[in-house]
Amino acid sequence: MLKLEGVFGGYGGATVLRDVSFSAAAAEVTCVMGRNGVGKTTLMRAIMGLVRAEKGSIQLDRLEIANLPAHEVPRHGIGYVPQGRRLFGPLTVAENLEIGLMTRGRGHAVRESVLDLFPRLRERLGQVSATLSGGEQQMLAIARALCLEPKLLLLDEPTEGLQPSMIAAIRDVVVGLKAAGVAVVLVEQRVEAVLGMADRVAFMDHGQVVETVARQGLDAKSPLFRQYVGV
Amino acid sequence: MEGLVKAAVLALTAVGLSLVFGVMRVVNVAHGAFFMLGAVLAWTVAQYVPGDPMFGWFAALLIAPAIVAAIAATADTFVLKRLNYDPEATIVATIGLLYILEQAALSLFGPDAKPVPAPFNIRLQLPWFGYSGYKIFVVFAAVAVLLAVWWFMTRTRAGLVMRATQVDRQTARAFGINVDRVYAGVFALGAGLAAIAAVLLVPISQAHYLMGGDPLLLSFIVVIIGGLGSLRGTLVAALIIGLSDGVISMFWSPTLAKIIATAAVAMVLVFRPQGLFGARA
């Protein structure tokens, strides 16, 4: 599904990603872990074309997307839930969803199926999204990305700052997407959340994916978490 | 009536400026030049359309804003986009654009003021005094265009895309929005609105290559008082500044009107720098 090989990238003159190779498969949840500043968010942004890959290859279903303009990347079926949600705050819930639907020309039926996943949003369609609670904003950020009907979903720290019930709801959605065949790449810092969702865990350090481990090979006391995440 | 005409034309011009700043974060110093270009193009089109002045003026209302919008979109693509919409660099670039457009107008159309006949000459005579039917038309036409802009921004997909881009252009890109195309469209729309305002005004004030200075100054005053990027604030401030400028210019002097408007801007900058309706940074 998604394959990165030898990707270098960064901001201005600063290289953040150094020779990153990484893959994600359909119907799998791949978690990306690492300390702050190792390049997890930059990796997500590079896949989306928001950070230009200076070298290397990014392929989605064997289609090279590294050189596409950023606005064409999501049209190939990549949904993105950015860190900090980055909703269109002054726009209503319905308008945020409409932006998601427009990306790949999806219509009413897709919106209804997404709202079935997040019934609380259905009650707040006319509400300005900046006035939602933190958990509702995260739901909307995920719902907006699902309006693309993505085959690959990138989630950047979706559980950050949320209460346990909301984290459980997001986990249920991720598990449901995996069952539906969607490839999920999840940047996450919470070990228990990773162990509850991941099929594979990629550890990042100094701008590289240094180790990728199957979920079966990990438990909460694994030294890899201490070594690369510091917990 | 003078104040209302001034407020209506100013609102159209300032909404264009506010839209460009709100969505693109570009302070468009060339906005007054687009206004001037609308007026001189209106004169040119009116020259070539034979028959009743009404035909020439209506042709100008369609053609001049379209040409100005096309010039603005071209300037966006070949100048502002190449500067990556850097706030400081675009100020310098639009100053350059202002001089290029003014000098081009001087070279092509000459230094003399060009009269454009009003499309109709009807006088609404009341017992105490009369009103120009054309001036009343200008007020209603400006209100109609502003309502159309409001409808476009709040009720259409293109407007939604512009508002989303205004909030966060990076996230907009992540949802398939071609930000470069949005910016070109917004810059064209802003310039087109200035040109429409000029076509409405030109039968009252004539076209001249240096006529863009006043609308530019007043538009900046309006968007600073209303709040940069706030369309609602722009409309309210245009009404206040336009009415006061028209009334004070008529009964006292135009210089006093500008002094009072500038003092109002100074007060706003000191006590409420984000403007009456702007969001605090």
Contacts of B201 (CB under 8 A, 6+ apart): B5, B9, B39, B138
pLDDT of residue B281: 53
pLDDT of residue B32: 96
pLDDT of residue B279: 67
B145: domain CATH number? 1.10.3470
Contacts of B50 (CB under 8 A, 6+ apart): none
Contact across the interface for A88 and B168, Cβ inside 8 Å: yes
Distance, CA of A192 to CA of B124 (rounded, Å): 78
Among B164, B173, B178, the residue with its CB nearest the CB of A88 is B164
CA distance A174 to chain B (A): 20
pLDDT of residue B20: 94
Confidence of residue A208 (pLDDT cuts 50, 70, 90): very high
Whether A133 shows a pLDDT value over 70: the answer reads yes
CA of B160: which chain A residue's CA is closest?
Answer: A95
pLDDT of residue B280: 59
Angle between helices B179-205 and B31-48 (to 10 degrees): 60
- Establish if B67 belongs to a structural domain: yes
Beta bridge partners, A8, equal A55
Contacts of A98 in chain B (CB under 8 A): 157, 160
Interface of chain A against chain B, CB under 8 Å? 48-50, 69-75, 80, 82, 86, 88-91, 95, 98-100, 102-104, 144, 148
Whether A179 shows a pLDDT value over 90: the answer reads yes
What SS3 state is found at B199? Answer: helix
DSSP string for A119-161:
HHHHTTTTSBGGGS-HHHHHHHHHHHHHTT--SEEEEESTTTT
Contact across the interface for A102 and B168, Cβ inside 8 Å: no
CA distance B175 to chain A (A): 6
CA of A90: which chain B residue's CA is closest?
Answer: B167
Whether A196 shows a pLDDT value over 80: the answer reads yes
How many domains does the structure of chain B reveal? Answer: 1
- Establish if B277 belongs to a structural domain: no
Which stretches in chain B have pLDDT values below 70? 279-281
Contacts of A69 in chain B (CB under 8 A): 178
pLDDT of residue B119: 86
Among A86, A90, A102, the residue with its CB nearest the CB of B176 is A102
Q: Kindly indicate whether the domain formed by A2-77+153-228 is annotated with CATH number 3.30.70.1070.
A: no
Work out the percent of chain A whose per-residue pLDDT is above 90. 79
Question: What would the mean pLDDT of A196-221 be, rounded to a whole number?
Answer: 90
Least confident of A33-47, A99-113, B231-245: B231-245
Contact across the interface for A91 and B173, Cβ inside 8 Å: no
- Establish if B281 belongs to a structural domain: no
Distance, CA of B34 to CA of B23 (rounded, Å): 18
pLDDT tens digits, B147-162: 999 999 999 999 999 9
pLDDT tens digits, B195-211: 999 999 999 989 999 99
- Establish if B276 belongs to a structural domain: no
∠ CA A10-A15-A18, nearest 5°, is 100
Distance, CA of B19 to CA of B69 (rounded, Å): 14
Q: Find which of A50, A52, A99, A153 to mutate to test the B interface (most B CBs within 10 Å of its CB).
A: A99
ipTM rounded to 2 decimals:
0.92
pLDDT of residue A219: 83
Q: Find which of A71, A75, A155 to mutate to test the B interface (most B CBs within 10 Å of its CB).
A: A71
Confidence of residue A173 (pLDDT cuts 50, 70, 90): very high
Contacts of B184 in chain A (CB under 8 A): none
Distance, CA of A155 to CA of A160 (rounded, Å): 11
Contacts of B168 in chain A (CB under 8 A): 86, 88
- The boundaries of every CATH 3.40.50.300 domain in chain A are 2-77+153-228
- Establish if B77 belongs to a structural domain: yes
CA distance A9 to chain B (A): 17
Domain extent at residue B172:
2-271
Contacts of B103 (CB under 8 A, 6+ apart): none
Distances (CA, A) of A152 to A66, A137, A138: 15, 21, 18
- Residue among A37, A80, A41, A31 nearest A192 (CA): A31
Q: String of b and e for B50-83 (b: at least 16 CB within 10 Å)?
A: eeebeebbbebbebbbebbbebbbebbeebbeee
